[in-house]
């Protein structure tokens, strides 16, 4: 299945012409900074649906993401089926209950109050996998670090996150799931490694502060604290 996906030679994007140059001005950079500042992990969605084709448009942009060896190992499953969604929701509830039970006593009460998914309200559901068996890229860059396939799929996720936010659509990452249950529920090939499950929709509110910070779970650290020089 992995390499049997159709469309190996994707249509070139209009902006993909060789030997063109492009520059981004100060205004664009300021807006890009705004985009990064205002991107949030969203769990509180309005229920109104996204316009037809939104997910496909976002996935098209995600396919411009970098990938090891140009392997483009990302695989997207748009989950519309009510029964499959229900299986995911049920699995989240099970995994979240187990995660709560594993919390230290002094953290458990706070954990129990967190909203960690918008699976009920979000109008759009998307699962992302990395195809470990893909022949695309001919193995370049994976010899010593095979996990680069998964890293590549994550770059596509972040691209969608930003592209969605740019059009006012919120996205929330749901990782409190059993990958085997997700793979079975979505009936994907065994070579596809589960990367994440994503809720998308219009956010109830916009914010510059992560919800986990607002709820007192964790603080952002200073950028200077993550830099070392050697
Ligand atoms: C790999 C990954 C997995 C995540 N899993 C979850 C999750 O299961 N539930 C949740 O509410 N948020 C999840 N998040 C969102 C983070 O909690 C969030 O990114 C972080 O608190 C910072 O907030 P921000 O994205 O709004 O800046 C995940 C984020 C990443 C990158």
Q: What is the pLDDT of residue 18?
A: 65
88 CB-near residues (< 8 Å, 6+ apart): 79, 119, 125, 174, 177, 182, 185, 197
How many Å lie between the centroid of ligand 1 and the Cα of residue 64?
23
Ligand 1 pocket residue status of 173, Cβ below 6 Å: yes
73 within a domain of the structure (yes/no): yes
How many Å lie between the centroid of ligand 1 and the Cα of residue 170?
12
Q: What is the pLDDT of residue 2?
A: 39
Q: What is the pLDDT of residue 226?
A: 98
Report the distance separating Cα 168 and Cα 156, nearest Å. 18
Mean pLDDT, residues 29-53: 98
94 within a domain of the structure (yes/no): yes
| Nearest residue (CA) to ligand 1, atom 18 | 41
Strand partners, 77: 127
Q: What is the pLDDT of residue 26?
A: 98
Ligand 1 pocket residue status of 43, Cβ below 6 Å: yes
Q: Give pLDDT tens digits for 140-154.
A: 999 999 999 999 999
227 within a domain of the structure (yes/no): no
Are 4 and 75 spatial neighbours (Cβ–Cβ below 8 Å)?
no
136 CB-near residues (< 8 Å, 6+ apart): 3, 8, 69, 70, 71, 72, 73
Mean pLDDT, residues 132-140: 98
Report the distance separating Cα 106 and Cα 48, nearest Å. 38
Confidence of residue 4 (pLDDT cuts 50, 70, 90): very low
pTM over 0.75: yes
Query: What letter does residue 225 receive in the DSSP assignment?
Result: G
128 within a domain of the structure (yes/no): yes
Q: How many residues does the chain have?
A: 230
How many Å lie between the centroid of ligand 1 and the Cα of residue 44?
13
12 within a domain of the structure (yes/no): no
Percent over 90 (pLDDT), the chain: 91
- What is the total count of domains within the chain? 1
The H or E element spanning position 127 is strand 124-131
CATH number at residue 127: 3.40.109.10
Rg (CA), the chain: 19
Ligand 1 pocket residue status of 213, Cβ below 6 Å: no
29 within a domain of the structure (yes/no): no
Q: What is the pLDDT of residue 116?
A: 98
14 within a domain of the structure (yes/no): no
Expressed as residue numbers, the domain containing 185 is: 39-215
28 within a domain of the structure (yes/no): no
Confidence of residue 1 (pLDDT cuts 50, 70, 90): very low
40 CB-near residues (< 8 Å, 6+ apart): 165, 170, 203, 206, 207, 210, 211
């Amino acid at each position: 299945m992995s390499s049997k996906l159709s469309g190996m030679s994707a249509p070139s994007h209009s902006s993909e012409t060789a030997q063109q140059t492009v520059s981004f001005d100060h205004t664009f950079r300021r807006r890009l900074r705004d985009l990064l500042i205002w991107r949030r992990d969203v769990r509180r969605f309005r229920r109104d649906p996204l316009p037809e084709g939104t997910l496909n448009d976002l996935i098209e942009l995600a396919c411009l993401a970098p990938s090891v060896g140009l392997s483009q190992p990302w695989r997207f499953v748009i989950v519309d089926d009510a029964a499959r969604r229900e299986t995911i929701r049920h699995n989240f509830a099970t995994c979240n209950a187990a995660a709560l039970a594993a919390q230290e006593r002094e953290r458990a009460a706070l954990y129990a109050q967190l909203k960690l998914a918008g699976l009920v309200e979000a109008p759009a559901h998307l699962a992302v996998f990395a195809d470990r068996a893909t022949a695309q890229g001919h193995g370049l860059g994976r010899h010593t670090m095979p996990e680069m396939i998964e890293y590549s799929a994550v770059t596509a996720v972040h691209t969608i996150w930003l592209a969605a936010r740019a059009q006012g659509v919120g996205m929330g990452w749901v990782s409190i799931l059993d990958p085997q249950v997700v793979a079975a529920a979505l009936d994907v090939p065994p070579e596809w490694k589960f990367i994440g499950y994503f809720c998308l929709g219009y956010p109830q509110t916009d914010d510059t502060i992560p919800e986990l910070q607002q709820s007192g779970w964790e603080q952002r650290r200073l950028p200077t604290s993550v830099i070392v020089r050697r």
